[in-house]
Chain A
């Protein structure tokens, strides 16, 4: 099986560890991973800030970059949600504005093959035990787009429950937004910070040594808040936990 890794622009630039962890994990599970270098960004920052037209070339580029692969895997729930939910929407709007069906067709072609990492593991590979070992107490925050747009459900939890040595701690109010929301964090900084502070407080109350998510952008916001509060709780992307093995620990 040949899958294309859509690493996302944020991970590419700021969190390359997450991309490397996905590669390590998938290859350990016998998957051949490719990285189409023409990929950049799914256009989520543009689209969600109200610059739909600026997102259009990125939709086109994304579809072309991943053309021909059986599966596209991404370690970002919000980018997977963008491709699946909003790329077709952007294509349809372009068509409605009388600019032809090309964009809509391109968007439609790439969406059924795009999976968020935990979806790909559970639904396509059919595994919940990926042979990982991570001897830490961890709490899990389900990010909004994974929870509500993709409907990831308990997939991430099922994967975490099978990780050797890992102790999972319940997070109060887990389903509440952490307050990142892209440009919302800057534009409505006070509300965003209040939401982040509440999330950080509840994470600390779990007593876990690490908090894990399926999205590095939320992780960046929560991790940054925890760091500013001087908290020792480490933010970790789920891919890095699932990629860890006993050798890494030794």
Chain B
């Protein structure tokens, strides 16, 4: 992943610092609690939510099992629609491909649609090194970019900032990137949004190249889908001449019917909306859309039928459209409506692996690839709420970050090795996850990898990894405890020693135990264990 995060402290240290930041804790607490309550209400509206969730998990599982097939199908469909498909094994290769494609256009400025995948590979930084400026157009991403900050939430990357901080960033930095902030900019949301709109509009009208990710790719038609609330993404997807989409290979769904399931789950889980305001879908290039209009090729007929089906599926849900503006239309339809094709003249799809097939090889851990990046697990996580997103040292913070990052990146660094332990295993993340990823199960599985080592797949090959450093004392303690627990007589002796010396036990512990007694009193050891009480009063013999 991105070099931006190299050398970050391990989770416990970064999180400890965050818990001392009162403003941060206040901002996070307010934002996550508001959205989690709204989400619960939006989900409660659908009586068949558990079935939808199970269907989504099943579709993703099946697709992942036959991923090679669906990717080849996607490639064929995209190519047939006039697009070009590139395969990138890792971040460096993806960045090289995108840089080359941008250079070929002769442009030095590109617009970005909010995309986690491009953050994962550190694309903006790579383009910057090649003399190309990448401008974020999502409001929260813009705040992060102008503030020379890092995103701290999947959906609301600037969740850690409050309004006053945002105003100061706009005032100080907008001029460096284009149109400056209006004079006397205040900190109410309308003013801030208007300042961003003016700043971005100039860029939209000027841009020749845009770069996006995608929430989904539909294999049967080679259609890419971006789901958003602001509409800025759609501007980038329709105005520029060249569109480059960098998409993780796990984002594919086989059919439009499958997509219908996810378009119901995603908005409710992420923004607590029944339907997100903008759903943009594009297939290939404008040229093919134009031909399609006159020649009615098989591809576009299929596409129109599929779009109708998807709409029907969305409308079949009670309340799916009520109270929301939906912007669902295919490029062919948009072209037809405007009396001509719109959208890019050149379209490139970069299919990114970057650790995904290795993750797929792990039968327990692979479920992390089902993730649709809704961020519901972040919003309910009590650890995320206190630690903040930056402590996770990755564009993927929170519970999903704690299991995805160490799989994509490996557990070699101290930070990555600490992530599987960044959870109390309370299970709130599993409960809300719309694709039923058992995050606690994967956390424990990855803890094993760190604590005991084992066999992993790296670069397509099996490798045996050793336990991470710093676990030797714990491992010895676990072994000793296990031995005692496997010998009830020894356990009884240990209990009796503890009881007999109970008056001598310190109230504050040294060493690692200090972390416990710093804020909590220790329980007192009772004079008699249950085992001894039972034997004394019930007269039963010892287990030996």
Q: Which residues of A pack against B, CB within 8 Å?
A: 7, 9, 11-17, 19-20, 35, 37-41, 43, 45-55, 57-58, 61, 89, 96, 144-145, 147-149, 175-177, 179-197, 220-221, 223-225, 227-228
Contact = CB atoms under 8 A, between A and B. Distances in A.
B522 interface: yes
Nearest to B491: A40
A54 B482 contact: yes
Nearest to A57: B486
B382 A177 contact: yes
Interface residues of B, number: 68
Contact of A176 (B19, B25, B382, B430): B382
Nearest to B420: A50
A196 B516 CA distance: 11
A119 B401 CA distance: 35
A58 to B, nearest CB: 6
B448 interface: yes
A74 B70 CA distance: 48
Interface string B436-456: 000001001011111110000
A184 B425 contact: yes
A230 to B, nearest CB: 10
A192 B485 contact: no
Interface string B519-530: 111110110111
Contacts of B520: 193, 196, 221, 224-225, 227-228
Interface centre among B425, B431, B491, B525 (most CB of A within 10 A): B425
Contacts of A185: 515-516
Contact of A46 (B19, B431, B482): B482
B448 A51 contact: yes
Contacts of B534: 19, 35, 37
B205 to A, nearest CB: 46
Nearest to B427: A148
Contact of B543 (A37, A58, A147): A37
6 contacts: A7-B530, A49-B451, A184-B423, A190-B15, A194-B386, A220-B523
Contacts of B519: 189, 193, 196-197, 225, 228
A111 B333 CA distance: 57
B34 to A, nearest CB: 14
Interface stretch (B45-53, B155-163, B274-282, B472-480): B472-480
A225 B363 CA distance: 40
Contact of A35 (B16, B422, B538): B538
B506 interface: no
A52 B531 contact: no
9 nearest A-B residue pairs (beta carbon):
A181-B424, A50-B447, A224-B520, A189-B515, A50-B451, A177-B426, A190-B16, A37-B543, A16-B530
Nearest to B444: A48
